């Protein structure tokens, strides 16, 4: 599945997101899995509303890969527009829970840097413990991971532990200082709590391996690992301790679309499975 777009004439979204699912047959090679795509997107006039909503389900999926790539239309001089646009937005009814603010570097070894934030308010009353190394911080709302390039940390992955959202992007092309995030994704058993969420109750980060171990509210676990990160793609590997049932999505995409030139994801599509040797695709 791919998603990408051009925001407000200039490029706000800098990523194409692809999800490829595979069944794990013990230690044998991965085989294609049957995945159902549920489109529950709704129209909106608010550019800060994630009205594009896609869920993926398939009870045999034990692992899958997420790939974020730069869009083909990206050019050296194309500006990014990342400022919020609350025109036609009414968020007065959103729940709001208060927290004690926090921000700090959780890890920095000159190769990988991890920074965490707890905001003054959030829409969920969650207090997820996040462990990195020998340190545990409770209630973080945003965690950023950076890769050092020429001694400069460049952000390429963020997670929001309170509701289970993630964003990824490749390192910027050599002719750009940085690029912006685009489509969000969810990993794990997705449920509806006002909006789609993944209920994480514990998160352990191994910054050396660039790996996130998640414990979910239903007792199941998953691992998200950075398989590759460079200037063309970010590749993430997700593995479940056991497949999620057919009746619950195991992953999802969330993004925004108001009009074709005011969108984080202007088009969504999927490709057929590659043909096996001597066979035909399906």
Query: In this structure, what token pair is assigned to residue 259?
Result: 């009009």
pTM of structure? 0.86
Note the Cα 194 to chain centre separation in Å.
Answer: 19
The string of pLDDT tens digits covering residues 125-148 is 989 999 999 999 999 999 999 999
DSSP percent split of the chain into helix, strand, coil, nearest 5: 0, 45, 55
pLDDT (average), residues 98-127: 96
- Domain ranges across the chain: 2-73+95-269
b/e per residue 65-100 (b: at least 16 CB within 10 A): bbbbbbbeebeeeeebeeeebeeeeeeeeeeeeebe
Q: Across the chain, what does the average pLDDT equal?
A: 84
Query: In this structure, what token pair is assigned to residue 48?
Result: 């800060």
pLDDT exceeds cutoff 50 at 16: no
User: Beta strands 102-108 and 97-98: pairing type?
Assistant: unpaired
- Residue where the block lists tokens 């129209």: 43
φ/ψ bin of 54: left (φ > 0), alpha (ψ from -120 to 50), beta (otherwise): beta
Neighbours of 210 (CB within 10 A): 21
Measured between alpha carbons, how far is 230 from 14 in angstroms, rounded to an integer?
Answer: 15
């Amino acid at each position: 599945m791919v998603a990408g777009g051009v925001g407000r004439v200039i490029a706000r979204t800098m990523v194409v997101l692809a999800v490829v699912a595979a069944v794990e047959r013990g230690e044998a090679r991965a085989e294609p899995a049957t995945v159902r795509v549920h489109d529950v997107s709704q129209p909106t006039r608010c550019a800060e509303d994630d009205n594009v909503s896609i869920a993926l389900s398939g009870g045999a999926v034990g692992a899958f890969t997420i790939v974020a790539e730069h869009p083909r239309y990206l050019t050296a001089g194309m500006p990014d527009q990342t400022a919020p646009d609350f025109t036609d937005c009414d968020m007065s009814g959103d729940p709001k829970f208060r927290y004690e603010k926090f921000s700090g570097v959780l890890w920095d070894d000159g190769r990988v840097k991890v920074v965490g934030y707890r905001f003054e308010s959030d829409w969920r009353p969650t207090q997820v413990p996040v462990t990195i190394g020998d340190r545990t911080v409770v209630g973080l709302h945003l965690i950023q991971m950076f890769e050092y390039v020429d001694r400069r940390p460049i952000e390429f992955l963020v997670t929001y532990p309170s509701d289970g959202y993630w964003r990824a992007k490749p390192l910027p092309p050599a002719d750009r200082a940085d690029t912006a995030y685009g489509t969000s994704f969810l990993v794990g058993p997705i449920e509806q709590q006002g909006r789609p969420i993944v209920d994480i109750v514990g998160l352990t980060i191994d910054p050396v391996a660039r790996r996130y171990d998640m414990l979910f509210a239903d007792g199941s676990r998953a691992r998200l690992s950075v398989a590759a990160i460079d200037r063309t793609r970010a590749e993430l590997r997700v593995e479940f301790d056991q497949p999620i049932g057919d009746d619950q999505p195991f992953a999802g995409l969330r993004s925004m679309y108001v009009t074709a030139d005011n969108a984080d994801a202007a088009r969504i599509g999927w490709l057929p499975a590659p043909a096996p040797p001597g066979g035909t695709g399906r």
